Amino acid sequence: MLQLSVGYFCQGAGYIIIGTYLVVLAEPVFGATAAAATWLVAGAATAPSPLLWSLVAARIGLRKALTVCYGLQVLGAVLAIFASAPVLLLAAAALFGATFMGVTMMTIGVGTQLGSPVAAAELTTWYSLGQITGPALVAAVLSGTIMGSFIVAAIALAAGMALSLLGARAAQAR
C-alpha cells in the first residue's frame, strides 16, 4: 500500500500544478479572456470521464486501464510544455480533464483490492498532501516559471504512475 500511497501523493502534486497553472500557460496563447476556455474544455472532458474509465477498466482490467489513463495524463502535461499552438493547449486541457478523475477513481479501487479497510481515506490523505506540496515546491524552487512547473508536473505524474503501477501489481497478485 505504501507504493500506491506515495504514487498517489505524486498524482496529487502533478494534478494540482497543472490545475493551478493551466490558465496562466494559456494566457499568452489565447489572451486573458479566452484563456478560461481551457477550463471549459477540461471541464467538458471531466464530466463523462468516470463512466468512461469504469467501462475501460471493466473491459481491459483495472491495472491496464490505470496505466492508459496515467499515460494519457502524462502526455497531456508534456503536450502543455510544447503548447505554442491553441489546438495543442486545448488537447492538453482535454487530456487533463479526461484523466484525473479516472486516476483517482481507479487508484482507490486498487487500494480497496489490497484489502485495506481505510484505503480511500489513506489514499485521499496522501493525495491531499501532494496537492499542498506540489504548488509550494514549484513556487519555492522554480520561482513560478510556467514551463518549469509543467515539467515538474509531468515528472511527478510519471513517478506517480510508476509507483501506482507497482502497487497495482501487488494488488493483482493477491
Check residue 52 and give its pLDDT: 97
Angle at 79 between CA 74 and CA 82, to 5 degrees: 140
Write the pLDDT tens digit of every residue in 19-71.
888 888 888 877 777 677 888 999 999 999 999 999 999 999 998 999 999 99
DSSP alpha helices (H): ranges in the chain? 2-30, 37-46, 49-60, 62-81, 86-113, 119-142, 146-173
Angle at 53 between CA 88 and CA 46, to 5 degrees: 50
Q: Are 145 and 43 in contact (CB under 8 A)?
A: no
Give the homologous superfamily in CATH for domain 1-169.
Answer: MFS general substrate transporter like domains (1.20.1250.20)
pTM exceeds cut of 0.85: yes
Write the pLDDT tens digit of every residue in 89-141.
899 999 999 999 999 999 999 999 888 889 999 999 999 999 999 888 888 77
3-class secondary structure per residue, 57-68: HHHHCHHHHHHH
